[in-house]
């Protein structure tokens, strides 16, 4: 009788632990997969108020709205902005919870630097399809489709750059290091180096939990529910496979994604690279807080690693 009670009690405890684990795993992965996005109208109004989105310029700018088929099975909405008579193009990859309107601040900067731009909405953001956010894992395949589409329009002789912010930076590096080093240069602004470490940092920052158990549970449930592992989202590993030049940017005040993650990636990058750490700026605010210095940094990077390549190509063609 006593043994039967112990077995019954053990079964109840095991069932309770399993139920709690399941509920916790679902709650954590819901926060990741279905992270609350900023309202599109809020982003539009914010950028208008901050004078980072010039609506009059945007409306008169030569542009082409496009729907690109994602290999993941949904449409990706993009806008090809062509204020200049050039084939050279920068693709801009926005951060999590944002949309393509947030990218337009960089559009004007690249116009001044001699590039047209392509802005697009990540999966489950803005006007693109897709059911979950995967922080670069599935997004990198969408970016591949975007790059291939842009190249088919501008031609193989055009200079192509990719500029990513936050999750967009992670997506950029994962594309270049895990799929194809298909651009002439990359700019990684405040990207994380390892998603599992980033999740651990956020849990530690926002809760009282100090163990790795939540991360392990999140990893297990993400595998079951969305088909990938947190550990497979590792821009730091991808960076080691990228030969094209990379400019790494971060703000030291960023406490959401720590600047040391950018420093880690800079250290393992082989070949041409630059890094700029701004004193001012919270997460994804380096450009907003330091616009002049930011643009000058990008200009110096392009002149050092990209314009020289353009000049050499022109000389070879002339010969």
What pLDDT score was predicted for residue 131? Answer: 96
How far apart CA 249 and CA 287 sit, in angstroms, is: 10
What is the tens place of the pLDDT at every residue in 242-254?
A: 999 999 999 999 9
Q: For the chain, what is the HEC assignment?
A: CHHHHHHHHHHHHHHHHHHHHHHHHHHHHHHHHCCCCCCHHHHHHHHHHCCCCCHHHHHHCCEEEEEEECCCCCEEEEEEECCCCCCCEEEEECCCCCCHHHHHHHHHHHHHCCCEEEEECCCCCCCCCCCCCCCCCCHHHHHHHHHHHHHHHHCCCCCEEEEEECHHHHHHHHHHHHHCCCCCEEEEECCCCCHHHHHHHHHHHHCCCCCCHHHHHHHHHHHHHHCCCHHHCCHHHHHCCCCCCEEEEEECCCCCCCHHHHHHHHHHCCCCEEEEEECCCCCCCHHHHCHHHHHHHHHHHHHHHCHHHHHHHHHHHHC
pTM: 0.90
Q: With 60 as the cut, is the pLDDT of residue 18 above it?
A: no
What is the tens place of the pLDDT at every residue in 148-191?
A: 999 999 998 999 999 999 999 999 999 999 999 999 999 999 99
Give the residue extent of every domain in the chain.
Answer: 38-194+233-318
| Coil, strand or helix at 259 | helix
What pLDDT score was predicted for residue 260? Answer: 98
In percent, the amount of the chain with pLDDT more than 70 equals 87
Q: With 50 as the cut, is the pLDDT of residue 12 above it?
A: no
Q: With 90 as the cut, is the pLDDT of residue 205 above it?
A: no
What pLDDT score was predicted for residue 308? Answer: 65
Q: Which of 215-229, 272-286, 294-308 has the highest mean pLDDT?
A: 272-286
What is the pLDDT averaged over residues 111-120?
98
What is the tens place of the pLDDT at every residue in 27-43?
A: 778 989 999 999 999 99
| Pairwise pLDDT comparison (88 vs 17), residue with the higher score | 88
From the list 256, 255, 239, 85, the residue with the least C-alpha distance to 158 is 85
What is the tens place of the pLDDT at every residue in 80-115?
A: 999 999 999 999 999 999 999 999 999 999 999 999
Domain 38-194+233-318: state its class: alpha beta
């Amino acid at each position: 009788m006593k043994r039967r009670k112990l077995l019954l009690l053990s079964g109840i405890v095991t069932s309770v632990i399993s139920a709690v684990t399941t509920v916790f795993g679902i709650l954590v992965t819901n926060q990741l997969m279905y992270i609350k996005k900023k309202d599109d109208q809020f982003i539009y109004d914010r950028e208008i108020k901050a004078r980072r989105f010039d609506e009059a310029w945007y409306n008169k700018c030569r542009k082409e709205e496009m729907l690109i088929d994602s290999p993941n099975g949904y449409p990706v909405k993009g806008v090809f902005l062509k204020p200049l008579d050039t084939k050279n193009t920068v693709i801009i990859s926005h951060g999590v919870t944002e949309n393509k309107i947030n990218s337009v601040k960089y559009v004007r900067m690249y116009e001044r630097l001699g590039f047209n731009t392509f802005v697009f909405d990540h999966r489950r953001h803005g006007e693109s399809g897709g059911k979950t956010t995967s922080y670069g894992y599935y997004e990198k395949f969408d970016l591949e489709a975007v790059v291939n589409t842009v190249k088919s329009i501008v031609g193989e002789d055009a200079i192509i750059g990719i500029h990513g912010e936050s999750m967009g930076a992670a997506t950029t590096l994962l594309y270049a290091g895990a799929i194809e080093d298909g651009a002439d240069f990359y700019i990684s602004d405040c990207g994380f180096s390892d998603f599992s470490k980033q999740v651990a940092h956020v849990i530690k920052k926002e809760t009282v939990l100090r163990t790795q158990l939540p991360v392990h549970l999140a990893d297990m449930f993400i595998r079951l529910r969305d088909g990938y592992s947190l550990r497979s989202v590792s821009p730091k590993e991808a960076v080691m496979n990228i030969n094209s030049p990379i400019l790494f940017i971060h703000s030291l005040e960023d406490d959401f994604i720590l600047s040391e993650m950018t420093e880690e990636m800079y250290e393992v990058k082989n070949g041409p690279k630059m890094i700029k750490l701004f004193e001012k700026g919270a997460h994804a605010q380096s450009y907003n807080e330091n616009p002049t210095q930011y643009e000058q940094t990008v200009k110096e990077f392009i002149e050092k690693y990209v314009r020289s390549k353009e000049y050499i190509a022109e000389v070879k063609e002339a010969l």
